[in-house]
Structure 1
Amino acid sequence: MVDDRPSSFTRYAVRALPGGLVLLRFEGLRHDLPEGYLRRTAHLPAFWVREGVPLEVEVRRYERWAGRLPARPSRFCNPSEPRQGVAQRFAALAGLPHLTERQVAWVRDKTAMKDRFRQLGLRTARYARVRSARDVERFAGRYGWPVVLKPVDSFACVDTHRLTGPGAPAGLDFGARRWMVEEHLGGTEWEVCGLIHAGEVLDAWPSAMPCRPLDIVDGAMNANISVGSGEGPPVDLRALLQRVVTGMGIDHGYAHMEFFVVGGEVYAGEIGVRLAGCEIPANHGHAYGFDVFGATLDVYLGRRPVLDYRERRCAGDLLLPLPRSGTVRRITPREELLRIPGVIDAVLKVGVGEPVAARRASHNASGYVHVAGASIGEVESRMRKVLDVFTIEVAPA
């Protein structure tokens, strides 16, 4: 399993597969793996891919290394969005289950993705590849402002901007990456996740977003709410996901898709074939009362999971603010957060005296809480009460 940052899923897999998990790590990302996490996973075999060395060379080195293990890995899981290309190529060279180069383009390159959506008969926002601010202005001249400008391989809204008029954001270099522009859609933005086994979408779980991702990176409440109460969008979500999964030839895994409902019509946004970001998968477990991470491991291990739901409610993750980089002076204790009505779990990622680095990304946070309730509205109201209580002081570096 690719391990490029600690996550709830990787921690679950470490516990669930103590003798059957091998970690694939990348030397260039060592700084993303905290020393404490490295110590806690030191008992597991981990292969480090060296930076600047041809991948074919590293796979040959991996083959020799894996030959000394008690059992050679036969399954593969990549939970990482930014590592999709290199991770799937590594798996292909190593003879492990993988996405093809074409499939990686469909789930990673947003223009190729939207091309494929349209080939499958789905509506999308109008879009175009661009190489200059002038290209953006020509697009807006045809379809109107505002528009959304983003790298074709962005994730978590990193380097994604809503533009309301001519002029590129400060510091943007069109020559450094491949860019696209698309029209800004109104309506309601939703998310849907699902598990895939043998090409079949086993079920689909909708999520509501109190605030849109582009508003989140500008300071709006950062939350997702899994809707197990039946309040979801008037869309056959399983059929929607199945159309995309079949059209992209996806055999197994976890799919996360964003879409818009505008005037009763569905517009496909983006899809990822990997676990959803933030704590969205855990939300589904809390909303439906089942072991979502165990079910996810099953599909990556080639097993059909039993989706035994024991709950039907709404449950969401609220990411706690991280206002700026510096040193934490004060932060609301976990115990105080757990006393707030509806809060069923709380995790603080930072503590007093620790250095922190804030960034403009939808996963920027000092921690998170899980909040449950009978409806979307009740969960959102309880989340706002959490924000009223939570405080964090960060002294400038």
Structure 2
Amino acid sequence: MVTHRNGGDGSGGDGGAVAVIGWDPSLVREVAERGLRPVMVRDVRAHLRGASIALREETEEIVVEDITDVGDVWAGLTRHFGDRLHEDLRGIVTFDEFAVTTVAALTSLTNLPGTRPGQAVLMRDKHLQKQAVRAAGVPAAASRLTVPGSDLVRTPFPGPCVVKPVAGGGTAHTEVVRTEAAYEALLEKLAASATSPFVVEDLVDVAQEWIVDGAMRDGAVVFSSVGRYAAPCLSYTTDTEPLHIYRADGTGEDERCAEARAVAGKALQALGYTDGVFHLELLLDRSSDSFVFGEVAARVGGCLTQEAVLLRHGFSLAGAAVDVALGRPLRPAEGGPDDRWVAATSLHLPRGTIVKLPNPDRFTAPEDIHELRIAALLGVNDDPAVRATTNWQGLALVSATSAAGLDARMADVRREFAEQSLVAPTFGTGRRQRVFLADHEDALRRLL
């Protein structure tokens, strides 16, 4: 149940309120557990679409046009709290990549704790990030700015490169080009639809891609967890393999974890980031066998990173983000790494029309499935030509007693997810559709 206040007097608790910009149940939970009122700010589309996970009963809601627009969110907060805005609002927090600078501006306007706009911009802008870390001596790919279709802001083909939005997220609209002809064709395609400047980065020969997720207070890394992708993120823009993220601490890769933490610390210092959570990506260069800075964000990583870190280390990144927003000390992790191996995996369904989705209660060995999030809805499932790490129909967080057992368990969950779903071949021929109807006539009759 969501308590929605159309005018809102901001009442409903003595501890004050924290505004959560964008839908995130982990932040809402941590706010409520601190005796404060969670006030979720989301746009009209998110409000009408609802969420796959129910919000806490005490959650208040503010609906605005655009959660990345400072004016829209400021107006929503004013409508909700009225004259009590500065008295009741104790903090503002987000895990939405595109609202990071919005929150920084709002905390400055309200004089609340949190990241300030100058720091937030460096944690968002891929070009400025590369410039800052390279100037500090941290290895990173060279970066150039270009505007597709422009003759004034244009970068000639530099050689094999990665082209992506200057402040994007989740590998969306990110492509690898290896020839000048492919580069020119991509820029021409982007010129018709681009709404952002793009960065052109030298292509790193990536052997592996690692991540460091953590929290900072007063310029020091208070907690960090190291993870590793099964394959580099850019591979997911073209391959159909699912996304796997392993937590690496305590799995026999201690030297690599220490190296990753060291590079991450230097990069964060170069960016002047002092307080908040971070998600930092490192590329293991094949030729040098050393880490190259990829990019960093001032929010938790996707694909159940918050849940995986909590399971593995007993540390809540969401709780740390809320404490920073309140100006409080960070709570320590509850114990060391869990003995079990932990990983998150994406779940996928083929193109077509989804007519049936799985029942989470019918998966085998549920004790090894710590989170099962089904994001798909009934209807047409049409993946884009260029995929991103956010193109999936579900997510699962699983554990096992060994690396081999973990891979096997993830494969089992993916198989059961597919077997319990039913997808009609919308984009196939009429013959394929008739065969599908004949093969699944009984199942479809039961659904109807």
Shared fold, TM over 0.5: yes
One of 342, 347, 353 as aligned partner of 2:373: 347
Number of the residue aligned with 2:250: 229
CA-to-partner distance for each residue in 1:59-94, whole Å, 9 max, x for gaps? 377357433469522222121101223332233223
Indicate whether 1:189 and 2:189 are aligned.
Answer: no
Indicate whether 1:110 and 2:132 are aligned.
Answer: no
Number of the residue aligned with 2:21: 3
Aligned counterparts of 2:94 and 2:69: Cα–Cα separation in 1: 20
Flag the 1:51–1:210 CA change in 2: closer, same or farther, 3 A: closer
CA contact (8 A) 1:315 1:373 kept: yes
Number of the residue aligned with 2:300: 275
What are the residue-to-residue correspondences of 1:54-93 with 2, within 5 Å? 55=70, 59=74, 62-63=77-78, 65-66=80-81, 67-68=83-84, 72-93=88-109
One of 119, 130, 136 as aligned partner of 2:135: 119
**Structure 1, gaps ≥5 residues long:** none
CA contact (8 A) 2:277 2:320 kept: no
What are the residue-to-residue correspondences of 1:11-90 with 2, within 5 Å? 11-13=28-30, 15-17=32-34, 19-27=36-44, 30-31=45-46, 34-35=49-50, 40=55, 43-50=58-65, 55=70, 59=74, 62-63=77-78, 65-66=80-81, 67-68=83-84, 72-90=88-106
Aligned counterparts of 2:168 and 2:67: Cα–Cα separation in 1: 22
Indicate whether 1:394 and 2:423 are aligned.
Answer: yes
Number of the residue aligned with 2:430: none
Number of the residue aligned with 2:272: 249
CA-to-partner distance for each residue in 1:229-253, whole Å, 9 max, x for gaps? 2434254444333323333332321
Aligned counterparts of 2:29 and 2:73: Cα–Cα separation in 1: 27
Aligned counterparts of 1:315 and 1:53: Cα–Cα separation in 2: 33
Q: Which amino acid in structure 2 is aligned with residue 216 of structure 1?
A: Y
Instruction: Give the deviation of 1:292 after TM superposition.
Output: 4.8
Q: Which amino acid in structure 2 is aligned with residue 13 of structure 1?
A: E
Indicate whether 1:172 and 2:201 are aligned.
Answer: no
Aligned counterparts of 2:366 and 2:78: Cα–Cα separation in 1: 51
Indicate whether 1:370 and 2:397 are aligned.
Answer: yes
SS of match in other structure, 1:77: strand
CA-to-partner distance for each residue in 1:108-127, whole Å, 9 max, x for gaps? 11010100111221001222
Indicate whether 1:151 and 2:172 are aligned.
Answer: no
Instruction: Give the deviation of 1:322 after TM superposition.
Output: 4.0
Instruction: Give the deviation of 1:289 after TM superposition.
Output: 4.1
Aligned counterparts of 2:334 and 2:298: Cα–Cα separation in 1: 23
Flag the 1:125–1:354 CA change in 2: closer, same or farther, 3 A: same
Flag the 1:242–1:33 CA change in 2: closer, same or farther, 3 A: farther
Flag the 1:107–1:23 CA change in 2: closer, same or farther, 3 A: same
Report the more deviating stretch, 58-67 or 368-377.
Answer: 58-67
Instruction: Give the deviation of 1:349 after TM superposition.
Output: 2.8
Q: Which amino acid in structure 2 is aligned with residue 317 of structure 1?
A: A
Q: Which amino acid in structure 1 is aligned with residue 399 of structure 2?
A: A
Aligned counterparts of 1:315 and 1:390: Cα–Cα separation in 2: 19
CA contact (8 A) 1:338 1:344 kept: no
In the alignment of these two chains, the number of paired residues is: 387
- Identity, % of aligned positions: 19
Flag the 1:294–1:2 CA change in 2: closer, same or farther, 3 A: closer
Q: Which amino acid in structure 1 is aligned with residue 397 of structure 2?
A: H
Instruction: Give the deviation of 1:358 after TM superposition.
Output: 4.4
SS of match in other structure, 1:261: strand
CA-to-partner distance for each residue in 1:330-384, whole Å, 9 max, x for gaps? 3343234343794343232346x45656453212222211111344454234323
**Structure 2, gaps ≥5 residues long:** 1-18, 428-448
Number of the residue aligned with 2:348: 321
Aligned counterparts of 2:68 and 2:412: Cα–Cα separation in 1: 50
Flag the 1:106–1:53 CA change in 2: closer, same or farther, 3 A: closer
Aligned counterparts of 1:307 and 1:372: Cα–Cα separation in 2: 19
CA contact (8 A) 1:78 1:87 kept: yes
Number of the residue aligned with 2:282: 259
Instruction: Give the deviation of 1:316 after TM superposition.
Output: 1.2
Aligned counterparts of 2:331 and 2:423: Cα–Cα separation in 1: 44
Flag the 1:38–1:284 CA change in 2: closer, same or farther, 3 A: closer
Number of the residue aligned with 2:439: none
CA contact (8 A) 1:149 1:162 kept: yes
Number of the residue aligned with 2:446: none
> Computing the radius of gyration over CA atoms, which structure comes out larger, 1 or 2?
2
CA-to-partner distance for each residue in 1:206-261, whole Å, 9 max, x for gaps? 11111222222332221211123243425444433332333333232111100012
Flag the 1:58–1:150 CA change in 2: closer, same or farther, 3 A: closer
CA contact (8 A) 2:28 2:59 kept: no
